[in-house]
Amino acid sequence: MDAVAEIGEYERTALAAIAAAADAAGLEAVRVEFLGQKKGQLKELQKLLGQVAPDQRPVIGKKFNEVKARVTAALESRQSTLDRPASAAAGIDVTLPGVPFQLGKRHPLSQTMAEFKLIMSRLGFDAVDGPEIEDEQHNFEALNIPPIHPARDPLDNFYLSVADRRTGGPLLLRSQTSTVQIRVMENTPPPVRIVSLGRVYRPDTIDATHSCMFHQMEGLWVAERVTLADLKTVLRLFATSYLGDDVAIRFRPSFFPFTEPSVEVDMHWGDGWMEIGGAGMVDPNVLRAVGYDPECVTGFAFGLGIERFCMRRHHITDIRRFYENDVRFLRQF
């Protein structure tokens, strides 16, 4: 039998076997027999092409490809037919009422961040964004965190295996949204009044109030004669706008390399206090790193945990609920 005849016989046999397949298992057996890459008849047919005279190969090769395409298309069509439920094969009664789609809901954290932006815009702050993959200059050095500082320990950060193409230095997932304030100040002369909301990453032990990935709102206001009193006023106005007038906020002295003086911000919840972020007056070294003159301008910065505000607002006692993708939980919002 010549090559053309064998190709034609292959096509007839394959199409008949595909049409006769009664279920998915039978169709899979047909696919392996006729289109299998290792032992199928198609593989044997390909070997036959090598025995064809060179002047006949273009014609025979074209016919081979056409037959292969038709057999493959027939297999896919039969697969679609077998996959359809019996009711679909019998037709659809268009007089019956349709099944309504179940609409999704915005994630509670997305809702919270949208409301945060709205509140801060009323206080005069513009929302900006920045990259989640950062270099050490923006994540540490410009924030007055020297190489010997424990915050730069590889065990306390998510360093990446790739290097910065510009500097050759290491890259990491940002550990704070403070990196955005540096990028903004590098390209914007004072006054600056911004907030940045987004994900940050730290290798914390996951429990009811901690996660290795969470969300922060970073705030920055740099201008002439900005004081710590302005910082406390803004944070109290923000907290009461989101949580209500009955929320209790306190400030505790603390230390951060990029602010001086620094404070921890807590809110009262249940029988105790929960830390919701850190804040302080921007350290003069940070202002100098971006080309600002600390003799002419001052500023404050704060970083707040978005999850904890959302937990307090909706009485959620475990931060892990936000990331479990349980629709029963998410539908409540």
Q: Note whether 11 and 66 are same-domain residues.
A: yes
Looking at 29, 58, 89, the residue that finishes a domain is 89
Would 97 be classed as within a structural domain? no
Q: Note whether 289 and 157 are same-domain residues.
A: yes
> What's the pLDDT score for residue 126?
96
Cα distances (angstroms) measured from residue 327 to each of 106, 309, 324: 11, 21, 9
Would 201 be classed as within a structural domain? yes
Q: Note whether 134 and 31 are same-domain residues.
A: no
Q: Note whether 224 and 122 are same-domain residues.
A: yes
- Say which CATH number the domain at 324 has: 3.30.930.10
Looking at 61, 89, 117, the residue that finishes a domain is 89
Would 102 be classed as within a structural domain? no
> What's the pLDDT score for residue 116?
97
Q: Note whether 130 and 7 are same-domain residues.
A: no
**Helices and strands (H and E) in the chain: how many:** 12, 10
CB-based contacts of 144: which residues, under 8 Å, 6+ apart?
A: 257, 258, 283, 285, 286, 289
Q: Note whether 151 and 61 are same-domain residues.
A: no
Looking at 89, 120, 137, the residue that finishes a domain is 89
Q: Note whether 49 and 137 are same-domain residues.
A: no
What is the helix (H) or strand (E) element at residue 30, kind and residue range? helix 24-35
> What's the pLDDT score for residue 278?
94
Cα distances (angstroms) measured from residue 83 to each of 30, 34, 76, 89, 179: 16, 21, 10, 10, 52
Does pTM top 0.75 for this prediction? no
What does each of the 333 residues of the chain score in pLDDT, given as a tens digit? 577 788 788 788 888 888 888 888 888 888 888 777 777 777 777 777 777 777 777 887 788 788 888 888 888 888 887 776 655 545 666 677 888 887 778 999 999 999 999 999 999 999 999 999 999 999 999 999 988 888 888 888 999 988 887 888 899 999 999 999 999 999 999 999 999 999 999 998 899 888 999 999 999 999 999 999 999 999 999 999 999 998 999 999 999 999 999 999 999 988 889 899 999 999 999 999 999 999 999 999 999 999 999 999 999 999 999 999 888 888 888
Would 96 be classed as within a structural domain? no
Would 60 be classed as within a structural domain? yes
Number of domains in the chain: 2
Q: Note whether 17 and 131 are same-domain residues.
A: no
Q: What is the 3-state secondary structure (H, E, C) of 85-141?
A: CHHHHCCCCCCCCCCCCCCCCCCHHHHHHHHHHHHHHHCCCEEECCCCEEEHHHHCH
Would 103 be classed as within a structural domain? no
Q: Note whether 82 and 155 are same-domain residues.
A: no
Instruction: State how far Cα 4 lies from the chain centre.
Output: 55
Q: Note whether 80 and 188 are same-domain residues.
A: no
Would 100 be classed as within a structural domain? no
> What's the pLDDT score for residue 35?
79
Query: Which residues span the domain enclosing 275?
Result: 108-330
Would 95 be classed as within a structural domain? no
